[in-house]
């Protein structure tokens, strides 16, 4: 997976590649799809949600440019796989999931794997997680119609938000860097995610 799907497509950050080698993806995939856990595609999880394609996880993670001392917020815990990868690359990861059943399952997986620097929080991640803000990095793993303002507010100066923005059919992977009271926005390429549902996302 790492050589053929990630390195071959241009993922260069050694720490990201090592983290993706280290985290056993099959433990995050439902038994019915486990034999496809390392395939080059997203896979279904419960509640009609998905675990993202390995390349998408690596690409978004690389865009955060983590060095190891950061506090990171993920919106869209899903299976917990992205959070497990982030836990290898940052000091602490808060990950938010709006569907309690998915949050509980992810919490158990992360605990069973002995990951102690990640916490799963149930709630609407479009509001961010003010009690632990600010964050050096925020990553949203669901597609949003626009950039939720609370997420930009909860970044440190110099922090980065990685988020798919667009229609429900296709989004642009967007990086927003906070510089004082200004932001610098870069569009990295197109992607397709399940909808971000919440106050600053799509309606239910």
Catalytic amino acids? 52
| Cα–Cα dist 64/15, whole Å | 12
Beta bridge partners of 202: 197
Q: Does 121 bind ligand SAM (CB under 6 A)?
A: no
Asked whether position 171 contacts ligand SAM by CB under 6 A, the answer is no
| Region 75-104 residues binding ligand SAM, contact defined as CB under 6 A | 75-76, 78-79, 81-82, 96-99, 102
Residues 6+ apart with CB under 8 A from 34: 26
Nearer to ligand SAM, 166 or 198 (CB): 198
52 binds ligand SAM (CB under 6 A): yes
Residue 40: how many other CB atoms lie within 10 Å: 13
How do strand 71-75 and strand 135-140 relate by DSSP bridges?
Answer: parallel
Helix axes 14-22, 54-64, angle to 10 degrees: 140
Task: Enumerate the β-bridge partners of residue 93.
Answer: 72, 118
Q: Which is nearer to ligand SAM, 182 or 204 (CB)?
A: 204
Nearer to ligand SAM, 87 or 126 (CB): 126
Which residues in 145-178 are b (16+ Cβ under 10 Å) and which e? bebbebbbebbeeebbbbbbbbeeeebbbbbbbb
Interface residue with ligand SAM among 54, 125, 128, 164 (CB under 6 A) is 125
Which structure tokens are listed for 203?
Answer: 């309606």
- Select from 5-13, 15-23, 64-72, 120-128 the region that touches ligand SAM (CB under 6 A): 120-128
144 binds ligand SAM (CB under 6 A): no
Q: From the CB of 136, what's the least distance to ligand SAM, in Å?
A: 18
Work out which of 19, 37, 50, 133 binds ligand SAM, going by CB under 6 A.
Answer: 50
Which residues contribute to the site for ligand SAM (CB under 6 A)? 49-52, 75-76, 78-79, 81-82, 96-99, 102, 124-126, 141-142, 193-194, 196-198, 201
């Amino acid at each position: 997976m790492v050589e053929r799907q990630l390195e071959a497509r241009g993922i260069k950050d050694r720490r990201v590649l090592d983290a993706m080698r280290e985290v056993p993806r099959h433990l995050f995939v439902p038994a019915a799809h486990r034999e496809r856990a390392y395939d080059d595609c997203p896979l279904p999880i419960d509640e009609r949600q998905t675990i993202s394609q390995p390349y998408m996880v690596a690409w978004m993670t690389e865009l955060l440019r983590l060095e190891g001392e950061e506090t990171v917020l993920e919106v869209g815990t899903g299976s917990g796989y992205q959070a497990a990868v982030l836990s290898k690359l940052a000091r602490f990861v808060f990950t938010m999931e709006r569907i309690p059943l998915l949050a509980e399952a992810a919490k158990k997986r992360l605990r069973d794997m002995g990951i102690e620097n990640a916490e799963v929080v149930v709630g609407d991640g479009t509001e961010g997680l003010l009690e632990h803000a600010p964050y050096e990095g925020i990553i949203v793993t669901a597609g949003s119609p626009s950039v939720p303002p609370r997420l930009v507010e909860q970044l440190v100066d110099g922090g980065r938000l990685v988020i798919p923005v667009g229609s429900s059919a296709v989004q642009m992977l967007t990086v927003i860097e906070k510089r004082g009271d200004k932001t610098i926005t870069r569009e990295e390429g197109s992607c397709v995610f399940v909808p971000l549902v919440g106050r600053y996302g799509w309606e239910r």
